[in-house]
Amino acid sequence: MRLQKIMKTIIRKVKTVETVMTDALMTAIGTITHVETQDRVAALTFDDGPHHRYTPRLLSILERHNAKATFFVVGEAASLHPDLLRQIAEAGHAIGNHSWSHQSFPLLTRAERQRQLHACQAAIKPYGCKLFRPPYGHQTLGSLFEAFVLGYRVVTWNAVGEDWHDRAAAFIGEKIIGEIRPGSVILLHDALFNFAEERHADREATLAAVEHILQRLGSEFTFVTVPELFKYGRPGKVIWRREPDDALVKWLESLRRSDSASFREGDPACWRGN
């Protein structure tokens, strides 16, 4: 009994040390959620595109309001729409890496994660900057460390409209208007790369919400790209550790099986960056 108690205490202490070490490393590298500034600037970011139907309309809305944004594109989608990628870049927006085929990084091996990053970066050449947003926001110390070693800054968000759910434009817009602060990074989607139901892929509500946000805040805030936002202050970093729960793992595994097949069999150009 006494030995068992000692062993339990040792295991508890080892786990505590492990957590402290992990937190220390995650803090040292950091995940950027915003920029510390008093200036009324913010960064709209759009994930999962480009999308042939929604991205051009989004570009028109942004242009009309003289707003710049950052597109965290999925390599597979970018490689299908090089014209859209060029349009985004030529309009003065920034393009970041959102992986090749939008898989949850904690579920991949180190080599698979690196291939995802390299393949997307090759697809967004010559416009891409070295910003990475993990698919689903999922991240472990290992995946953060790898992105860091490969020269990426990991950028998540501190304002979110939850537009991957079946939300009305008013909900998305008002939620972001309520959460936005000077230096905020805002998460929205001009496409959904993976979705449970077809209706979730519809981006009409997001487009209407962007119009609403820019109408309401356009005179109060300047909307800039993430690289531009960094010029206004120190990046605000947090410990960002998120892993999929069991139900999500099952769903993602089923997606991954089909995605992996297309990843292996797809355009060999996607492997050139390895």
Binding footprint of Zn ion on the chain (CB under 5 A):
47-48, 135
Which CB atom, from 93 or from 102, has the smaller least distance to Zn ion? 102
E strand intervals along 181-269: 184-189, 222-223, 234-238
The token duo for 145 is 């460390």
CB atoms within 10 A of CB 40: 15
The catalytic residue among 48, 163, 189, 259 is 189
Q: Quote the least distance from Cβ 24 to Zn ion, whole Å.
A: 28
Q: Which amino acid is at 160?
A: V
Q: Quote the least distance from Cβ 153 to Zn ion, whole Å.
A: 17
d(CA 224, CA 103): 28
CB atoms within 10 A of CB 140: 19
Q: Quote the least distance from Cβ 194 to Zn ion, whole Å.
A: 8
Tell me how far the alpha carbon of residue 262 is from its chain's centroid: 22
Q: Which amino acid is at 191?
A: A
> Is 118 a known active-site residue?
no
Which CB atom, from 37 or from 156, has the smaller least distance to Zn ion? 156
Rounded to 10°, the helix 141-149/110-123 angle is: 50
The catalytic residue among 47, 48, 163, 259 is 47
Q: Quote the least distance from Cβ 103 to Zn ion, whole Å.
A: 10
Which CB atom, from 134 or from 235, has the smaller least distance to Zn ion? 134
Look at the chain and count its residues.
274
d(CA 217, CA 211): 10
Residue with the two structure tokens 């304002």: 159
Which CB atom, from 59 or from 77, has the smaller least distance to Zn ion? 77
Helix ranges, 30-81 (H): 54-64, 75-80
> Is 189 a known active-site residue?
yes
Name which of 49, 5, 8, 62 is nearest 224 in CA terms: 62
Closest-by-Cβ residue to Zn ion is 47
Which CB atom, from 73 or from 122, has the smaller least distance to Zn ion? 73
Q: Quote the least distance from Cβ 133 to Zn ion, whole Å.
A: 7
Q: Quote the least distance from Cβ 107 to Zn ion, whole Å.
A: 15
- Structural contact between residues 274 and 68, judged by C-beta atoms closer than 8 angstroms: no
Which CB atom, from 135 or from 173, has the smaller least distance to Zn ion? 135
Q: Is the backbone peptide bond immediately before 50 cis, with ω within 30 degrees of 0?
A: yes
Query: Which residues are known catalytic residues?
Result: 47, 189
